[in-house]
Chains A and B, each alone.
Chain A
Amino acid sequence: MSKKFLIPIGPYHPLQEEPELFKLYCDGEIVRDIKWETGYNHRGIEKLSESKTYDQVFFLVERICGICSTSHPFAFANAVEEIAAVEITDRTKYIRSIIGELERIHSHLLWVGLAGHFLGYNTVFMWAWKYREPILDLFEMITGNRNSYAMFKVGGVRRDIENRMIEPVTKILDDFKKKNDLLTGAVMDDPVIHARTKGVGVLSRQDIIDYAAVGPTARASGVAIDVRRDDPYAAYPLVNWKVITAEEGDVFAKAEVRLLEMYESISIIEQCLQGLRKEKEGDIQVKVNEIPEGIGTGRAEAPRGEVFHCVFSDGSNSPLRHKIRAPSYSNIATFKKSCIGQTISDATISLAAVDPCYCCTERLAAVYDSGSGRKLYNARELIGLSADRTSELRNKNDLK
């Protein structure tokens, strides 16, 4: 007879980049029940938002997540523009969609890498993260930032993607496509990955409906919901693309959906770049005089699924109440269905399969002077270093 164990994963664990505690109640190797504790990182962003002006809230919600840092401003902009009845320009729509889709590519690549790491297949991890770098460089060229792009504002975007940028961006995307083919082939055809992920962490269609799961988690179980198609916003109704679904509901199906979605994202970006050529340069904002009293519900399809923002306005310059629902809030709860009955080693990849949100904004080379006489950098110099790197990237692509 096997013994019963409680296996804690977290609050701080090498598998998790953010603090949360999973308690796995195991009978021998088999997970019989699972409980989740969170709140270690609660920042009170909804409450903070009530004390910020609408312009400031964009910077706040951008910091909810380091990976999908554009999804929250996207949904917030949709919500506020709904209250103010603002119709944004086509050039703004294209730019917003380009940023949104580039983000989806880098986020999915990050997930594929982490999934490989969870399975003990670190080659996939190394590849995915290596191929993700050019996408982050693209962000830096376009927005000046690798993460937290600060592109959105009510009624427009803060920076234009000038027409002279279209060619270098297309070239980097073309190079990326070849690498993506390689990575997708390696993951989809690998017998070890098949063995570890097929039939593991299965979520049925009914589970998805019961837990109201969204995004690739839902689409991998045959529930074809995608806000970009269902409640169109930005440039998505102006370009051709399709919603990727799979029927199996296991970890492999979730990987398949994400890998194939990256091809759709590339196609959307290419069409949006072509769309930009037809629009007048610099036509990236409309004037918004005031935000009237009312309710605005905005959504955006983040890499992990539907982001939902509900803004209650009393006609002042800051929200009366700002409700935010990130996709992981709906998706993480499905572990009750996907992990129970699995072995511990499969439970970790089942947990990771919904892509619970990690934060990866750290990018700082700390330089210490430990009596060795090495140069120390102050904050201004570090910002200078970052700006130098951005201009270096732009110069490399003839964008002086």
Chain B
Amino acid sequence: MEADLILKKLKEKFAAVIIETEKRSEKRCTATIDPKAIVKVAEYLYKDEGLRFIIASGLHTRRGFEIHYHFSFDTSGLILNIHVILNNENPSIESLSNLFNASNWIEREIHEILGINFINHPNLEKLISEGNWAEGVYPYRKEFK
């Protein structure tokens, strides 16, 4: 499956929640979606299309908190980024860990380093700091002037 095809399918199925799509090459593309639809979109990609969840990257920009969920379609080498932007006040998003275990640790990690709340996560404990970091301090958050 190439970038054009998966983006076309997503647009047909989730027209209401797709905010923007970008094709960078035949094998690399990004779809920015409404954060409320993340579980439905991820479920479709994982169960219906057979994509593999690689990892998620969380970052803090002037636009707010952004998460890129990276999915791989291994038979064609495609990487699809599902991109969401969360607002700066109480950033939260539904967890994908009830769908597949692969996102369990990375959601804990993003929670820990950026302070994003993953709703319905089975066990949102700290992953890497084991309580050694001060509460409420998020090392990957930035201060914008």
Contact = CB atoms under 8 A, between A and B. Distances in A.
Q: Do A and B bind each other?
A: yes
Interface of A: 37-40, 42, 44, 46-47, 82, 209-212, 225, 227, 230-232, 294-295, 297, 299, 306, 308, 310, 312, 320-321, 323, 325, 329-330, 333, 336
A321 B59 contact: yes
13 contacts: A37-B130, A39-B129, A42-B129, A47-B139, A82-B28, A212-B52, A227-B77, A230-B74, A321-B57, A329-B105, A330-B102, A333-B101, A333-B105
- List the 4 closest pairs (A to B, CB-CB), nearest first: A231-B77, A212-B102, A323-B57, A39-B128
Interface in B35-62: 52-55, 57, 59, 61
Given A231-B27, A323-B68, 20 more contacts: A39-B127, A82-B25, A82-B28, A209-B52, A209-B100, A211-B100, A211-B102, A212-B52, A212-B53, A212-B102, A225-B52, A230-B77, A231-B77, A312-B59, A321-B57, A323-B55, A323-B57, A325-B54, A325-B106, A329-B106
B75 interface: yes
A225 B76 CA distance: 11
A157 to B, nearest CB: 23
A297 B127 contact: no
Interface residue tally on B, bucketed by range:
35 or more
Nearest to B50: A209
A325 B72 CA distance: 14
Contacts of B33: none
B21 interface: no
Contacts of B77: 227, 230-232
B90 interface: no
Contact of A211 (B27, B59, B101, B106): B101
B100 A310 contact: no
Contacts of B128: 38-39, 42
Contacts of A211: 100-102
Contacts of A295: 24, 30, 68, 81
A233 B133 CA distance: 39
B92 interface: no
B129 to A, nearest CB: 5
A329 B55 contact: yes
Nearest to B140: A47
A231 B127 CA distance: 30
A227 B79 CA distance: 12
Given A37-B130, A333-B105, A310 B52 contact: no
B102 A310 contact: no
Nearest to A322: B57
Contacts of A230: 72, 74-77
Interface string B71-105: 01011110101000000000000000000111011
Contacts of B81: 295, 297
A310 B72 CA distance: 13
B5 to A, nearest CB: 16
Interface in B1-40: 24-25, 27-28, 30
Nearest to A233: B77
Nearest to A231: B77
A82 B28 CA distance: 10
Contact of A39 (B130, B139, B140): B130
Nearest to B105: A333
Interface string B116-145: 000000000011111010000001100000
Contact of B104 (A44, A325, A333): A333
A327 to B, nearest CB: 11
Contacts of B76: 230
